[in-house]
Structure 1
């Protein structure tokens, strides 16, 4: 939709069919709605600027004159971005905002614009997301997975657990190199002295120092912000350095593509490809300056990537036939945990063999269960990673108590880990992955009850005062799933005893299961084969573990 039409709409210059045309268009055009928001933000920003001016008209004329005088050499089509840049700088000069991106600088105006927009269009259900779950769920978003002569400052040592998990706070590395893996799968190699904040599962803020980011395809969009620059990955490896005194920032692209833009002022993004580098100084209106590439000077590995020797369970269900299901894992305490499809209980039905996601699998009818015992010393509040492929028929029915795909502990006990799909429309996204313990739960957003194969990973960090709301992560199809609902509850230290698939009763789990893994660890990287049937999950798991 043309900006001129939106401008006329905001100015109440349209009526009748023209007004209705724009309203209908905005309902169906996301880019048009964004343009509407942008015009509202700029309008409200000018109102903020004018609000404390004795001579409002003179001030407004001065702004327009500045726009005209500084835009003489502006390329066609860049006028809106340039206007945004100039207004941003004026806001900064008047100390209305400091080192913030445009939406933050005019957040008061953006709120007013959003309220006006909702009142005019009645599109609240279209553009406003439900209230997000508690921010505490993002408490642990990254983990130290390797180090080389790393020396942390005193405060940082307290924020890093013995198993490497970092609370969502800033850490300071005095010297050496540390490998940090974010929940998205992105890895950074931080070189001391440096200060880094883990803000989100796919975003960090480098206040000073140097880092190299390795970003796999599943973590594309990984962001490193600095005082002067924002760097967005588009599937690549790149290095960032920040001067501790001036905040001057450099970006060097080693592989792939990144998008870099200033944190304020001239925030027009620049796309950089392999072998290119730019520098951002303190002059916010200046362009990013090309510099000589020096990507080979950044650390891209560490000497000590510590691995765990703890075993794990693995059922591939790929036997040629018969009732025996072999444990192909690397041996939990107590030996192998082989299973059989022949039930010792005449009142207990078991699933049958069926084609799976990769080779053979199992198919469950309501009431059928498969149970394996677990080591005696495995407790409910200890770390674990449970992953498997599953296919749930669309329009699946039942209750939360009956439809668990997997249960750690006895299913009839309220305080046991239950993995299912969500049927409670009042708490999170219907059909999404739901993991509960007693009255606590976490619900994702990806629908897994659509009749398609999905890879599911449940990772629990465990430890003292471990809570469902803060220590549990969900992955679907190899990606960290967003959370639509959280019900926190602390996990007690109680023996697990067994792992059960399926549930008894006429509304039990109905669907397919394949490639089950259970690690007595909170793996740094989720187990996911993707489209490759030859991938070795065991090898990838061993390379991503840290010792507790």
Structure 2
């Protein structure tokens, strides 16, 4: 096999084959030292040509007819090879123009949320910025990347990111929202099987699973180029979304921009229902989520209610009392979507967990309970004397037996956004601030909580979200519910339990 230098020489001489030309292009893309060698070689050849032309003008070259004919032929070949080389050089310069940018024009700013856990591998260890070749592993939380062209990326982990150039990144896992100004047109995201090219827009990408990628376009349009040969690219325009599988096969999906973090904030997003005051049959909502006060819990009844107090003394202030008599509460909060990490924490005074035709009635739930994969998220306390805590989604259940009943106990369920070595979603349970053992079923389906389809229902307290369900409601009292779009750690859950306030970031 020819060396890279021989390929460069063949290119100069105009005798390189198409396959060798393709191989040379790939080598030049991969090897900075080779590009430097190529440019030095071309400069040397250019100097030699200039010297020969100067001599020709001075009349120092042979001028007999035979020599002139040979020289013209040689010059024609040289011109052809220089033309080919010039085209190649222009192509390389266009592809690698960032290499010659000033140092500051290649740097990428990075900022992270308070709850973020990430590892950054830098070429320049002490630099506060990123540059091509640097990589980020996000275990949890949100990061903001600011590119020289003005492109802004908000990436929510777990995810792996690599900076390829100042206008290209490689991404696997998690989800991200991109704001691309006119100056940043052409910004590209590489995944294992696709290249998503911005054509002036705002868009989001979400890994529905390891091999399925969703692209959601809010403004402008993007071009999705499969890396498999002979598969045609796809263009998406504003208001459209598609999912792409491992073979680049695509299908339309509903755009749901609310699933993405589109505004950077240091603090994690959460909603809180304290159930202290019942006003017009509603318990107020609060939290750090934008418009957090627009998601109150509205009291409802399956039938004429049995008289009993809805608001009773709770662990902190008052609580919401559900007596298993058809009383429950609805909100208009669609819930935490997809496979986004989440923490659900609350106080419970459990009396009896019910089942109806094999369906467990949840303390709280949201999503799509009618699909074959059951793309819902549910927290259940089942039983009476022997109580099990259950977090379930997509056929996977994480279950924890609880000790004998207490007056009030604190429950927390954490989904990390990851899978266990066995392939099940990684879910942790906490009882009174302490992590307790979890038993999971052997289903290995990825979490994909559906919050956007017509079959999906928003967050509900005390009653099933399965449409057409006519069973009973939860027989329990519930207080201080937190829905958090983040992974809380042991110390933070203990703080939440003790202080009934959103915990500060861990040191």
Query: Which TM-score band (shorter chain)?
Result: 0.3 to 0.5
TM-score after normalising by structure 2:
0.41
Larger radius of gyration: 2
